Amino acid sequence: MFTDADGPVVVGRDLEKRYGQGPATVHALRGVSVELLPGSFTAIMGPSGSGKSTLMHVLAGLDRPTAGDVWLGPTRLAGLDDGDLTRIRRTRVGFVFQTFNLLPMLTLEENVVLPLKIAGEEIDDDWLERLLVAVGLQERRGHRPAELSGGEQQRVALARALITRPAVVFADEPTGNLDSHSTEILLHMFRRAGQEIGQTIVLVTHDPLAASYADRILFLSDGQIMHETGKLSAADVIETVASVR
Amino acid sequence: MLTFALRSLLARRRRAALTGLAVLLGVAMVSGTFVFTDTINAAYHGLFAATAKGADVVVGSRQGLYSANAQPASVPASLLTRIRALHGVAAAQGQISDVATIVGRNGRIVKNTGSPTLAMSYLPPPFTGLQFVDGNPPLGPNEVVLDENTARREGYRVGDRVQIVTVQPARRFAVAGLARLGNASTGGATFAVFDLATAQSLFDARGELNTIYVAGTTGTPPATLKREIAPLLPPGISVQTSAQETHADLHQVDDQLGVLTGGLKAFGFIAILVGAFVIAGALSITLAQRTNELALLRALGATRRQVLDAVLVEAAVIGTLASAAGLLAGLGAAYLIRAVLGASGVEVPSTSLVLELRTVLLAIAVGLLVTIAAGLVPAARATFVSPIEALLESRRPARPRLSPVLIGPVLFLALLGALFAFASVESRRDRLTVSVIGAVLFVLAAMLITPFVVPQLGRLVGWPLERGGRILGRLARENTTRTPVRTAVTASSLMIGLALVLFVSVYVGGVRASTRTAIDRTLSADYAIVNRDGTGSIPAPSARAVAGVPGVLAVSSIKQATADVAGAGQTTSAGIDPSSVGQVYRFNWVGAQPLALADLGPGDVLLERDTARAAHAQVGQQLQVASPAGLRANLVVRGIYTDRALLPGLALPLPEFDQLFNQIRVQQVLIKLAPDANPASTLAQIKASLNSVPGVVVRSQRQLRDQASGQAGSILALFYALLALTVVMAGLGIATATALSIHERTRELGVLRALGMTRAQTRGLVRDESLITAAIGTMIGAVLGIVIAWLVTRALTAEGVVFTVPWLQLALVIVVGLAVGVLAAVPAAARAARLDILSAIAHE
């Protein structure tokens, strides 16, 4: 799947993102560099306005940095047109959004295979089965999103992100709309994806519990990485957040 | 609350703009149609008022401006002197009016759209209704004044010489001036004006007048003047106040152009319907969003009253502004229709655009009421349940419920429609009315049940788009069918437009076929001599000229006039020659042949079946027939026949006809060749014999048939133009609805883009949605159009109107309908493809 199995999956170098001009300029990113290794599970934390969502969007090719470079595997994103970026999103990136964003008229199974269908690619039935079993929804594949709970919908969204075997899955506050029980189930599944299939995962969150599932935590503030740690317990995350601020 | 309403309007600028656009389109449709119709009517009114200008009473009858039938009465010129001598008469002038033919610069006859060229003598002031655009009134035997339109079209200017054919052979005249009648351009009617003495000599009427215009002294009421003049008149000559005269003329126009005015009225109704649907369709899209907002307001403590106020303010602002803009757009549309028609050669008389108060009120009522009614639906939804329930409810897509409340009316309408359609009613007119009512009820029933079949139809028409598991086609289909009411309403305007196109083409095809069949069945003549313009009368000597041609077996003249028949009203009356008509025309008798045609004598009349029905007359009974001049005759019905093409109305023996109608010219001369005659050489000889007769042509049976069945051409073009406008409006309605629908689903599109949907795929998705909506409208419209056509033609089966499935038009309608869908999606698709993914995903 990767040209270089040991090299980083995503590289961001000296990333800057400015909105507006003159004195009203907002600096969302002020020179951020990151590398995401294969199979890593990284959480990006920070208060609102710290630039964590912008960083994720730039790394995922959903937004262009004002300065700096992004490589997705061997591909440099700068200079790619919309069509190329779209193809990269299709094949190399998976997304999980805060609001589940399933299509209401499609069944659960249809929602999962939607990215493959859009790309016009073959569906690997074994892989689909494995994902449905892994998210615990194989019995309910014919149901519509409206018949599922929020936690179940987000598990469908995770399966949808994994169906294309992407190089990296970006999750933007995936637990933001979930109760604590559903949150734990979902986070377990993220961790299993990392452990069982070596999925590279980036989790943007301000939930310390969510961040405690990651192997590596980046703390962002005012568009800069202020602190970086390895795995922490939820309690330690809270403490670190307080100290970083 | 007012501030909130206005602020929410500003905040939802794009939504408000699109909704306003829909209202604008709907109102423009309604006002444009009515302005156009009123303008045509006002033009006719102005025309007739102008011809009787300055006169208090009118003696004799005028040549009907739009009628080939009515022939002017003839009064001695000496009558004018006697009228002038009357106490109470301030001024009196006589006029000659007839028909003529103008020859264009290229030597060709100036063709009008169906109406004759009027020839008139100049009326000096105070009576002249002519407005001179250039030059002077005609003076002396060599001058003529032409109407402005014809002169412009043919390139004649003051001082040029123009060839004109009258009862006399063609002669050249100098153009003394260019004029128009009243403020109206006379549209199809062209005219040539000579001075009185010239007109009298040109039309063999020395010492005669057709009409005398009389102005009374101040203080003499027209009625008194009329009473004073009446005793002076010879029998058969009438005197009327000019108000009566104008009224009678308008009545005649209404009769002649009944199809046109009736059609325009019907179209006004259709415009209201389509306009309302375009508006309602756009508003139904934002229903869920607005319900949500209003429910939120309720949750925040707004009272029901406050929510209602907010909705009304928003609807009133959008409705009023957009309706006002729509009125302007409507004026523009009316101007455009006229310009397009004029450019395509269909001339209808017109003045400056007429904007009646009724049009303004109707257009605004449609714009405002539909907007408000559509605004009240979410208000009701948001206020009649608890705020939280409403919030939850607004997130669920609305599905139509087949409630008993709805089933009732649908069944009732369909049943009523069927009842009307199949009821056997006696008279043709009533049967037609009844089946039209039935058809309208069917349309309404179809519109009511459309939302319930949208899912099925969507699957059917969407199949080609999603075959092979194409997920985006599937998404497009699901998007259109998950809101069936909205889709149905959006598709309805297209459905109506296309159904009408199909209906009109089947109907016209059927009527044409029936006319052809009727002529084939009844006309046994080989040739006919008719006026070059196709409608006017021809000099009587035409018959004599061809009678001597070797190879000609029989020659029979037919005259035509409009009579008032007791019980049947204005009826076309033919004068036939009993001794020869049998050789050129086969009567299609109802029952056995009643008597030998040759035995038809004075006091006898033959009735066409519809006239007989309307007058409740049977063979052997007496019937009163009155001429336009007021002469009456009691005739005995000798036979009843069917023919709606050549001899509609009734037929009289010529001697009787001549007593009733003071008419020298004949309508047509029918010729039968001897069985052993050489057709080609005989035809050449017939043509040669007619060299001395001006303004006539010889037509073969086949040409006559084609001409008769093609007559409705220009009016048909007008209807097709209006229907095309409906389809365009429907397309704009679908475009607005698609744009709103895309706006509403911004986030969904953003997610799909993030999941890897390309820009091209995005455009395709939007296009497919619009296409499916259009296809649903097209499908129902096609079925409906054919069903209605079948119903109406069925009511006319007895007239030989046959129903045929119009495969070509059907294919055309389907192609147009689908093209409308594709085109309507273009703006929304472009916008959807340009969406910024991140802000789309963050979109509420």
Task: Kindly report, residue by residue over A160-173, the tens digit of the pLDDT.
Answer: 999 999 999 999 99
Under an 8 A CB cutoff, do A87 and B754 touch? no
Query: Which residue in the set A86, A101, A146 is minimally distant from B758, CB to CB?
Result: A86
pLDDT of B343: 67
Chain A nearest-CA residue for B844: A99
**In-domain check, residue B698:** no
Both structure tokens of A42: 């990284």
Average confidence (pLDDT) over B39-49: 71
Chain B nearest-CA residue for A170: B754
Q: Which residues in chain B touch residue A110, judged by CB atoms under 8 angstroms apart? A: 471
d(CA B294, CA B281) in angstroms, rounded, equals: 20
Give Cβ neighbours of residue A50 (< 8 Å, ≥ 6 apart): A220, A221, A222, A223
pLDDT of B349: 61
Under an 8 A CB cutoff, do B751 and A110 touch? no
Whole-number Cα distances in Å, B69 to A69, A95, A101, B201, B832? 89, 81, 74, 22, 62
Under an 8 A CB cutoff, do B841 and A97 touch? yes
Under an 8 A CB cutoff, do B475 and A106 touch? yes
Q: Which residues of A touch B (CB under 8 A)?
A: 57, 62-63, 82-83, 86-87, 89-91, 95, 97, 99, 101, 103-106, 110, 114-115, 117-119, 146, 160, 164
In chain B, how many domains are there? 4
Q: Which residues in chain A touch residue B757, judged by CB atoms under 8 angstroms apart? A: 86, 118
Chain A nearest-CA residue for B474: A106
Q: Which residues in chain A touch residue B471, judged by CB atoms under 8 angstroms apart? A: 110, 114, 117-118
**In-domain check, residue B163:** yes
Per the model's pLDDT, the better-predicted residue between B538 and B397 turns out to be B538
Q: How far is A229 from chain B (nearest CA, A)?
A: 29
Query: Which residue in the set B470, B747, B755 is minimally distant from A115, CB to CB?
Result: B755
If one counts every other C-beta atom within 10 angstroms of the C-beta of residue B532, the result is 18
Chain A nearest-CA residue for B480: A105
Q: Which residues in chain B touch residue A62, judged by CB atoms under 8 angstroms apart? A: 754, 837-838
Q: Which residues in chain A touch residue B837, judged by CB atoms under 8 angstroms apart? A: 62
d(CA B690, CA B668) in angstroms, rounded, equals: 13
pLDDT of B643: 82
Under an 8 A CB cutoff, do A86 and B755 touch? no
Under an 8 A CB cutoff, do B475 and A87 touch? no
- Decide: B624 and B634 in contact? Cβ < 8 Å: yes
Residue B151 scores a pLDDT above 90: no
Whole-number Cα distances in Å, A97 to A115, A154, A175, B410? 15, 8, 9, 46
Q: Which residues in chain B touch residue A114, judged by CB atoms under 8 angstroms apart? A: 471, 755
Regarding whether B207 and B157 lie in a shared domain, the answer is: yes
Query: Which residue in the set B475, B758, B837 is minimally distant from A83, CB to CB?
Result: B758
Bridge partner list, A204: A44, A172
Q: Which residues in chain A touch residue B747, judged by CB atoms under 8 angstroms apart? A: 99, 101
Average confidence (pLDDT) over B744-751: 88
d(CA B274, CA B733) in angstroms, rounded, equals: 9
Last residue of a domain, one of B221, B245, B269: B245
Q: Which residues in chain B touch residue A164, judged by CB atoms under 8 angstroms apart? A: 756
Chain A nearest-CA residue for B751: A101
Whether chain A has a CB inside 8 Å of the CB on B838: the answer is: yes
Under an 8 A CB cutoff, do B756 and A91 touch? yes
Contact residues, B window 24-63, toward A, CB-based 8 Å cutoff: none
**Band of pLDDT at residue B346, cut at 50, 70 and 90:** low
Chain B nearest-CA residue for A145: B396
The residue segments making up the domain with residue B596 are: 540-693
Torsion of CA A64, A69, A75, A80, to 10 degrees: 40
Average confidence (pLDDT) over B483-491: 84
Please tell me whether the peptide bond between B126 and the residue prior to it is cis, using omega within 30 degrees of 0: yes
Query: Which residue in the set A62, A63, A105 is minimally distant from B482, CB to CB?
Result: A105
Under an 8 A CB cutoff, do A83 and B759 touch? yes
Whether chain A has a CB inside 8 Å of the CB on B78: the answer is: no
Whether chain A has a CB inside 8 Å of the CB on B756: the answer is: yes
Regarding whether B646 and B550 lie in a shared domain, the answer is: yes
Under an 8 A CB cutoff, do A146 and B396 touch? yes
Chain A nearest-CA residue for B476: A105
Nearest alpha carbon to residue B298 among B288, B310, B286? B310
Last residue of a domain, one of B245, B280, B310: B245
- Decide: A119 and B756 in contact? Cβ < 8 Å: yes
d(CA A234, CA B257) in angstroms, rounded, equals: 88
Regarding whether B69 and B177 lie in a shared domain, the answer is: yes
What is the CATH code for A10-244? 3.40.50.300
Q: Which residues in chain A touch residue B839, judged by CB atoms under 8 angstroms apart? A: none
Chain B nearest-CA residue for A164: B755
Both structure tokens of B675: 């069985």
Could you tell me the residue ranges of all domains in chain A? 10-244
Residue whose entry in the numeric block shows the structure tokens 């590279």: A200
Last residue of a domain, one of B635, B666, B693: B693
% of chain B residues with pLDDT over 90: 11
Regarding whether B93 and B212 lie in a shared domain, the answer is: yes
Handedness of CA B242, B246, B249, B251 (dihedral sign): negative
% of chain B residues with pLDDT over 70: 81
pLDDT of A69: 93
Query: Which residue in the set B475, B756, B841 is minimally distant from A89, CB to CB?
Result: B756
Nearest alpha carbon to residue B743 among B134, B84, B22, B236? B22
Q: Which residues in chain A touch residue B466, judged by CB atoms under 8 angstroms apart? A: none
Whether chain A has a CB inside 8 Å of the CB on B396: the answer is: yes
Under an 8 A CB cutoff, do B471 and A57 touch? no
- Decide: B111 and B121 in contact? Cβ < 8 Å: no
Q: How far is B462 from chain A (nearest CA, A)?
A: 15
Whether chain A has a CB inside 8 Å of the CB on B479: the answer is: yes
Of A51-65, A123-137, B289-303, B755-769, the one with minimum mean pLDDT is B289-303
Regarding whether B390 and B281 lie in a shared domain, the answer is: yes
Give the model confidence (pLDDT) of B647-671 as tens digits: 888 999 988 888 887 677 788 899 9
Under an 8 A CB cutoff, do A101 and B747 touch? yes
**Band of pLDDT at residue B677, cut at 50, 70 and 90:** confident
Residue whose entry in the numeric block shows the structure tokens 């519990």: A209
Average confidence (pLDDT) over B716-729: 78
One digit per residue, pLDDT tens: chain A, 245 residues? Answer: 444 556 899 999 999 998 888 787 888 899 999 999 999 999 999 888 888 889 999 999 888 899 999 999 888 998 888 888 888 888 899 999 888 888 888 899 999 999 998 888 888 999 999 999 999 998 999 999 988 998 999 999 999 999 999 999 999 999 988 899 999 999 999 999 999 999 999 999 988 999 999 999 999 999 999 999 988 888 888 888 888 76
Regarding whether B642 and B741 lie in a shared domain, the answer is: no
- Decide: B736 and B25 in contact? Cβ < 8 Å: yes
Under an 8 A CB cutoff, do B397 and A104 touch? yes
Q: How many CB pairs under 8 A join A and B?
A: 63
Residue B331 scores a pLDDT above 80: yes
Residues in chain B: 844
Whether chain A has a CB inside 8 Å of the CB on B757: the answer is: yes
d(CA A185, CA A156) in angstroms, rounded, equals: 13
d(CA B333, CA B338) in angstroms, rounded, equals: 9
Average confidence (pLDDT) over B287-296: 74
Nearest alpha carbon to residue B345 among B716, B96, B58? B716
Under an 8 A CB cutoff, do A86 and B753 touch? yes
Query: Which residue in the set B469, B475, B751 is minimally distant from A101, CB to CB?
Result: B751
Which three-class secondary structure state does DSSP give residue B195? coil
Q: How far is A169 from chain B (nearest CA, A)?
A: 12
Regarding whether B610 and B664 lie in a shared domain, the answer is: yes
- Decide: A123 and A55 in contact? Cβ < 8 Å: no
Q: Which residues in chain B touch residue A146, judged by CB atoms under 8 angstroms apart? A: 396
Regarding whether B327 and B468 lie in a shared domain, the answer is: no
Q: Which residues in chain A touch residue B841, judged by CB atoms under 8 angstroms apart? A: 97, 101
Q: Which residues in chain A touch residue B474, judged by CB atoms under 8 angstroms apart? A: 106
Residue B811 scores a pLDDT above 90: yes
pLDDT of B115: 55
| A224 exposure class (CB count in 10 Å sphere: 0-12, 13-18, 19+) | middle
Regarding whether B794 and B742 lie in a shared domain, the answer is: yes
Regarding whether B106 and B44 lie in a shared domain, the answer is: no
